[in-house]
Each structure stands twice: as structure tokens, then as C-alpha cells.
Amino acid sequence: MDLFTLVLPFSKCAAGLVVSLRIGERTPGEDKPMSDRPSYEQLNTNFNWVIAERELGYRPGDVINIGWMCSDRLCQLGLAEKLALLWEDYQGNQKRFTYNDLRVYSNTIAHFLARLGILPGERVCLFLDRVPELYIGFLGILKMGAVAQPLFSAFGDESLCVRLKDAGTSAIVTQKKHLHKVRKIREQLPNLRHCIVVDVPQASLQERETAFAMEQVPPVEHFPIYPTKAESPSVLHYTSGTTGQPKGAQHVHYSIVAQYLTAKWVLDFRPDDIYWCNADPGWVTGTSYGIIGPWANGITQAVLDSGFNAGKWYEFIEKYRVTVWYSAPTAIRLLMKEGAEIIRKHDLSSLRHLASVGEPLNPEAVIWSKEVFGKPFHDTFWQTETGCIVITNFPGMEIKPGSMGKPFPGITATVLDPRTYEPAKAGLIALRPGWPSQIRGYWNNPAGYQAKFRNGWYLCGDRASIDADGYFWFMGRDDDVINTGGHLVGPFEVESALLGCPAVAESAAVAKPDPVNMEVVKAYVTVKQGYQPSDDLELEIMNHIRKRLSPLAMPQEIEFVESLPKTRSGKIVRRILRCKEFNEPVGDLSTIMDD
Ligand code: 6R9
């Protein structure tokens, strides 16, 4: 059986979905190219990353330092008094920082770390809620040549310990409320020389703990930044780990070239934008597009240090007049669950451009957002390992809801037959190595990184198909694809069909062992408020999706659950559900939400 036959059920089904939702048509007026915006095709012609190097004022061989590029450079360009950060926490406390504040406070932090004896190249972990010290500390660490290692402050002590041990981290910056976790694991971490606490006086601290109040110590006007070069290590990001052990992805300072340009073009930045990225910098989205991308572009960004709450989120957009919003499917599904009524209570007319990342964006979400916000969410695909958006619905490009769009200019992407590793119509998403923000390796794990390459391609570990117009359609993580009687079914098509049912809030389709077909599809489903799980509801859902899915992709069973297992970045971890079905051990769970 050739590959095309193998993926036929998916293609057929995706087409069915397109018809039933009237999608794949030209996007309506609001998504037409703005007159001053070059088209995707124009930008793709003769593309060269040198465009970004020039705009950043970088020439090969120069010193390049992300911390400096995101603060001092903007001040030199006359933006010293422009607001860089509008910050608010869950209690309503607010702070504002200009680009000059970023420059001076990041100097102050860099100076403090250098005085403490932290050396260039050493790893400094940021273990903080989304407080200003996290964002500005990130720049400060990079300015003095150390490597920033951001971790979710919600991690428990074990998750923290594994990552600090692996990275041989020298210092950790944290808050009073998370200090007990550091103290608990301290003895297991001989490399950890310093624990820096940003919100307590020195008197309350123990040995090897140092108080540092960013806004109270004498500000450092001038700091000689460490002369990092293109290949100097910058950020160590532990991947979200939907599969296997978390790996430390090693980024370099040159990554800013890609993060700057992808942010500018894909997030459609304009000088007066107020940009909001929902992601925590513990996830790569929160650093590439929650720190580096916007600040390299001199954009004002708003940060809300608070968990999900639809009302609060809409208030935040309204209050700060957010224009560009970068979110994730999990959050969008939660907003959909809350309904449109609450949206009508807010003036969200400032929103101009919406984008999403992290998981496949279901067509329903795109259509819903057009209805309620008057703007579609633009799906963007990328990974910790790619460092920047690689496949995307470009602003102004026709959106086909459910599709990830096309490769960013300068990115050569295809899909490969998993047996021959030759380009095919559907298969493994593969990228030609060599874009600026590609990671340079996994920390302590060169073999793991080498295993990601075949025939001169970098393999993302995901499957997709490419349509006649060159649009990519996501199928699933390579390990999540369900093999039923030799036919491959991507969880995404099943889940998208399920999300079309009014009762379904979230879903996960996984393989279940089957004596005849080897595997069949099983769906886990959470229901929206006002619906009760029952046999009747199961039947209703089955009837609804029968029209949209090929018989092979039809779930044999639906199990109603309270919630689905997710990573801290909001990705559904199908592996856990699959292991349950196969009675297998689930392996590493350190990034799962409720650890
Ligand atoms: C940025 C980020 C990467 C994995 C990736 C894929 C999934 C991300 C997606 C998407 C479908 C999209 N993913 N964006 N799947 N459509 N638009 O998420 O990085 O945490 O390393 O995860 O996330 O499976 O391989 P990371």
C-alpha cells in the first residue's frame, strides 16, 4: 500500500470537514492585505535573512547580544521613553516600564550577577511568576553572557530538580513563595551556588541566599555587556515533553534574527501596537514571542500575571486596548466554552490581529473568532527546537480554517514519507536545517539531537499533509497517529469533528488496542456547561460526527471525563490516555499540569 492510500481517510475527511463548514473559501474583507503590507508571495521572492540582520544593524562577525538588542538598541533608536512593558497581576497591581527602564534595570541585574561571581556561559534559572523581574532579568542574564534558563514557577520541586541538575545550573532567581521548593532540593544540586530572591529582605534568608530588589538597589546606568557572538549560547529551554523525557534545547544569540523578523511579519507589528502574548516564559512561546520578538521590534507589550479567567482576560484587552493577541488553542477553547455573551459586555474593538500556537487550531475556533471578535485567529506552527514560527497563516493570506498555512519565507518545509524519507503528499513534517533560530543541540544529549535528522532534513516529530495550494494540514504528533487496520488516522481530524458538536468542550482521540484492526479510535471528551454525560449524549455525538468522519476515523468508544491531561503550556498529552488504553507505564510526567 503506498503512502497516499495510507493517508486517504484523512484527506477525504478533511475535505468533508471543509465542505460542511464552508471553509477553504476566500477570507472575507477584514483579512485582505493592507495596502502597505507586502504580500506573502512578494516577501517570499528573493528572501534572505540578511534583511533581518540589516534591520537589526548586525553584520556577520559583530557582537550580537539579545539583552542589548532588546533594550539599549531601542533607546539608541530614540525609543527610550516609549513604554516597553505594561504589567498587571491578579490582584490588580500595575507597573509600567519604558525602554530606558528595561535598559537600566537589566544593567542592574547583569551587574549584580557579575558581582556575585556568575560567569559567562553559566546557566541562571528564572523561577518566577510573570513578574517584571522575570522579563527584565532575562535580558540582564544575557547581557552578562550567562545562559537564561526559564522554568514555570508552578513546577513542583521534583520537576525543578531534574532540570537544574541536568543543566548544572549555577544560580536561580526566585520569589518568596517558591523559595521552599528550592530549599527542599538544594542539597541535591552541588552546582547551585546562589539562590537570589527578589521580594524579601536579606535578614529572612539563609546561607547562599541573596536578596535582590530590582527597583530598590542603586540603578546601573552603564554596564559593559559581555561580547557574545552569533553562536554564543543564550537560552536553555526544557521542552514541554508531551512525549518522553524533557530535553534542554540550546539556543544561541543569533536566534534573534529569526525571532525579530517572524514576530514583525507574522504578528503583523505596527509601531503603535499594544501586544499581548498569553504564554509564560517557561514555555518557548513566552520567550521567543513574549520577550525577544516584541522587544526587538520596539513594541509595547502588556503582561497579565494571572491564570485563565475569561472575564479578566477580556477586561485586560479592553483596559489596555490590546491590538495584537498571541494565544493558544487551549485558551481559545476555554473562551469558546464561556460563550459569546460575556464578550458583548466588553469593548474589544482595539483587536487588530490574532494568532495562535501550541496545538492544532480547530476550524471551529477560527470561525468562532471571526464571529465574535470580527477577526480570525491565525494559526502558527513551530517548536522549542525551531525557536521561531516556521509554518504560518501569514497576515493577508487567504486562511483555510484548520490549516497551519505555509512556510515562513526562508524556511524550506515539506513532508516526508516515513519509510523512504523522500518528499510526499503526506507524512513527517521536515525542515531544511540552517535557519537562524534553530537550536544548536540538546543539552547533554548530542545523540538525541542527531536522531532528529534524516536525509539532510530536520524532522519535527509531527505529521501533516500538503494540499495543492501548498497549505500544510496538521495530522498529529508522529507518536499520536492511530493506525487502524493499516490506515493512519490523525487525532486532529477526529477532535475537530468532535468539537463541532455543541456539547463538546474538549476532546482527545487516541489509539485503543483492537484484535482485528490492531488499533481503533477512542475519544475522550469533556462537556460544556449545561450538558450531562449520558448514553444518549454519546449517541448524539456519534451521530453528529458520523457525517463528518470516514468510518475508519469514527471513534469506537467515547469516554466522558472531567478534564484532559495537559502540559503547562496547555498541550493535551494523548500519550497518557493511550498508555491507559494499552496498559503501559506512562513514563515522565514532570510537565503535566497537576504535578
Ligand atoms: C511553540 C511550541 C511543539 C509541538 C509541535 C506540535 C505542537 C505547535 C502547533 C502544533 C499543530 C500548531 N504544535 N504549534 N501542532 N498546530 N499550530 O508549541 O513549542 O512546546 O516545543 O511544542 O507543539 O506537536 O511539535 P513546543
Q: Which of 91-95, 189-193, 483-487 has the lowest mean pLDDT?
A: 483-487
Neighbours of 159 (CB within 10 A): 23
C-alpha cell at 557: 468508544
User: For residues 77 and 298, what is the distance between their CA atoms, to the nearest angstrom?
Assistant: 9
- The ligand 1 atom at the shortest distance from the C-alpha of residue 249 is 21
Instruction: Tell me if residue 276 falls in helix, strand or coil.
Output: strand
Q: Taking a C-beta distance cutoff of 8 angstroms, is the pair 342, 311 a contact? A: yes
* Closest to 403 measured CA to CA, from 465, 462, 473: 473
Q: Which of 2-6, 99-103, 309-313 has the lowest mean pLDDT?
A: 2-6
Q: Whose CA is nearest to atom 10 of ligand 1?
A: 359
Q: Mean per-residue pLDDT for 288-303?
A: 98
The pLDDT-based confidence of 93 (bands split at 50, 70, 90) is very high
User: For residues 304 and 298, what is the distance between their CA atoms, to the nearest angstrom?
Assistant: 19
Q: Mean per-residue pLDDT for 114-126?
A: 98
Q: Mean per-residue pLDDT for 451-466?
A: 96
The pLDDT-based confidence of 215 (bands split at 50, 70, 90) is very high
pLDDT above 90 (res 517): no
* Closest to 547 measured CA to CA, from 500, 484, 583, 505: 500
Residues contacting ligand 1 via CB (< 6 Å): 239-240, 283-285, 357-361, 379-384, 404, 460-462, 474, 477, 569
pLDDT above 90 (res 30): no
Q: Taking a C-beta distance cutoff of 8 angstroms, is the pair 463, 10 a contact? A: no
Q: How far is the CA of 383 from the centre of ligand 1 (A)?
A: 5
Q: Whose CA is nearest to atom 1 of ligand 1?
A: 383
CA-atom Rg of the chain in angstroms: 24
pLDDT of residue 16: 27
C-alpha cell at 466: 500538503
pLDDT of residue 353: 98
User: For residues 116 and 135, what is the distance between their CA atoms, to the nearest angstrom?
Assistant: 20
pLDDT above 80 (res 26): no
Q: How far is the CA of 243 from the centre of ligand 1 (A)?
A: 12
From 382, 392, 493, the mutation candidate for ligand 1 (largest count of ligand atoms within 8 A of CB) is 382
Strand partners, 277: 326
pLDDT above 70 (res 35): no
Those residues with Cβ within 8 angstroms of residue 257's Cβ, 6 or more apart along the chain or in another chain: 49, 52, 53, 56, 58, 436, 437
Q: How far is the CA of 567 from the centre of ligand 1 (A)?
A: 12
Percent of the chain at pLDDT exceeding 90 = 82
The pLDDT-based confidence of 11 (bands split at 50, 70, 90) is very low
Those residues with Cβ within 8 angstroms of residue 374's Cβ, 6 or more apart along the chain or in another chain: 30, 351
* Closest to 112 measured CA to CA, from 228, 185, 250, 215: 215
pLDDT, tens only, 138-165: 999 999 999 999 999 999 998 899 999 9
pLDDT above 70 (res 558): yes
pLDDT of residue 184: 97
